[in-house]
Structure 1
């Protein structure tokens, strides 16, 4: 299963509402929980996100939906990676840290520089790719990603940074003129890959406002968060379980796949740290249950679902075990 942080859905609710649609109904039809529309850190299947975008574009008659949503997104959605990007000394530095850590946001996405496909020695190509065994290049998702990258370069470098052309690996449903108005450059459809062709040398231009110390700290934080064998397993498992609840089965096999480790290896590491996957899952469920019960008015059935529990009765049993009380009593305030 390939996932993406729900931050990738920023702007979806507002854009759909602007078009007269029901964002929660569209999310549900694509297999996404409504909560994913309003938080950044849930892990949701990337295929479900792509489906939600395509479904919304079709039902709302909005072929340029991805481009519209990109107007509502900014670097903050990338979390710690945004701090590293903003404080990179050059666009090449931005590309380096993005290539290294974009998988934290979405493992299926990649971004990198390559030679110009037309052989122009004064141009380099910035390639945006969605790697998926389940779907061809998603039109709206790719539009959204390219639009986000384009607008990020505009913010970091200049509104007119010399974009030569945009290459699309499909025939877009919206007129090319709409794409060209958005990008301010020629757009070619049916090309081998999704590319932004930019002037050679742009990548080495110094970026204003960067702070080398903040860049170094952000990179160190990202390295620690994504470290392999030397990192403690329990905090990483706890974070991943918290993000998975309500969107995918909270099973050790799923978590191990996301952490790129074998389930038995993960079990051994957790045991060596004095805990277990079951204990962490129960701890996270308890923490989240208390938050939902005391700070929201969600129905009990919805809370059970967000905790990855099969039914409301299971939530009641868990609450009795955790606190010796019912969910309703917890919500009302225990004596």
Structure 2
């Protein structure tokens, strides 16, 4: 255990609410966590699991993710598919406290693609905070984060996961908290560059290996009203060593493009997409899905049009995504792949694949 990194178990006094006049919000996540994301997070969990004797197949069970797609940079997974992997991992390990911190420490800046490089190139730490929360759709976070200056003049990042299923909530809070700290440490490499003062966790207790103290290296308080990362406010004015205005401008444009694409995958469209992904066959009509999701067909069609898409476009998109996974699975017959995609025969799959390649 690192000297000074004392883990305390008593309850911390309740932090002032973000809405109080004594606090000033500087940034917050406003986008939903239920959005598609790259395969990186799932791959990291599978790699960690394999190193701890957990087979990849165990972690991917019930997710409809093919192991052959784990390293494919083009494949996106739905948030609930990643959550299913988390649930499998937590179950396999046995809900051990500290597991999320161990995994969160593996989420390096490079895991976030363009966003990781944007944060490195940003002009100040404040910019990294504002951009990181604005472009949350480019991360793997399941928590909703709010950054503020508290009444004591400290910079506090609050993480909430009230809408995350309870069986994985503790892991998510630990992982996202550790990932945030890891990001800042990599933007400002070197001992003491990130003035972290305290970690407050809305989870129950310390893990058996002291992983909390070993990783955070500051006091960690358990059983708090909410999860918070506390730093000196002056840190926000620090300039990252690799800051570059021109590069940052280029990367902002790329990140905005990706965010817009991911936002297109939320709302009713996201519900339809998630429902289609969960079916054993994609031989479905809009009327079928409307009935299963308790919409009138006309209402569902209107919602999708309002979100800038159609059922046919969503069905084709899901078929393409599922096909990318199924075609990597050598154990499945052509007949089974065609049936799963909702086609009558293999020739229909071939024609669809050719069309997708042209698009």
- State if a TM-score over 0.5 links the two structures: yes
| Partner in structure 2 of residue 100 of structure 1 | 134
Gaps of 5+ in 1: 255-261, 331-335
Q: Equivalent residues in 2 for 1:1-335 (5 A)?
A: 2-3=34-35, 5=37, 6-28=39-61, 31=63, 33-35=65-67, 37-39=70-72, 41-45=76-80, 47-58=83-94, 63-106=97-140, 108-116=142-150, 119-121=151-153, 123-132=154-163, 134-135=165-166, 138-158=169-189, 159-160=191-192, 161-172=194-205, 174-175=207-208, 177-227=210-260, 247-248=277-278, 263-267=301-305, 277-278=311-312, 281-282=315-316, 285=319, 289=323, 293=327, 296=328, 298-300=330-332, 311=340, 314=342, 317-321=344-348, 323=350
Q: Give the secondary-structure state (helix, strand or coil) at the position aligned to 1:112.
A: strand
**Larger mean Cα displacement after TM superposition, 281-290 or 18-27:** 281-290
More helix by share: 1
Offset of residue 151 of structure 1: 1.3
Q: Deviations over 1:283-313 (max 9, x none)?
A: 77468748964xx4522259956xxx7548x
Gaps of 5+ in 2: 1-32, 291-299, 355-359
TM-aligned CA distance change 1:115 to 1:304, over 3 Å: farther
Q: Deviations over 1:29-84 (max 9, x none)?
A: 6x46344754562123064244234213307xx54322222333212222332232
Offset of residue 166 of structure 1: 0.7
CA distance in 2: counterparts of 1:38 and 1:300, whole angstroms: 20
Q: Deviations over 1:216-266 (max 9, x none)?
A: 1222233334449xx9x7x99xxx89x979854578889xxxxxxx75254
Question: Which ranges of 4 or more aligned residues in structure 1 deviate by more than 6 Å?
Answer: 243-246, 250-254, 268-271
Offset of residue 156 of structure 1: 0.8
Taking structure 1 as the reference length, what is the TM-score of the superposition?
A: 0.70
TM-aligned CA distance change 1:173 to 1:200, over 3 Å: closer
TM-aligned CA distance change 1:195 to 1:302, over 3 Å: farther
TM-aligned CA distance change 1:32 to 1:201, over 3 Å: farther
TM-aligned CA distance change 1:58 to 1:3, over 3 Å: farther
Taking structure 2 as the reference length, what is the TM-score of the superposition?
A: 0.66
CA distance in 1: counterparts of 2:324 and 2:202, whole angstroms: 47
Bigger relative contact order (CA 8 A; separation at least 6): 2
TM-aligned CA distance change 1:184 to 1:285, over 3 Å: same
CA distance in 1: counterparts of 2:111 and 2:125, whole angstroms: 19
Offset of residue 173 of structure 1: 5.1
CA distance in 2: counterparts of 1:135 and 1:193, whole angstroms: 15
Is the Cα contact below 8 Å between 1:103 and 1:109 reproduced in 2? no
How many residues are paired up?
Answer: 299
TM-aligned CA distance change 1:283 to 1:17, over 3 Å: closer
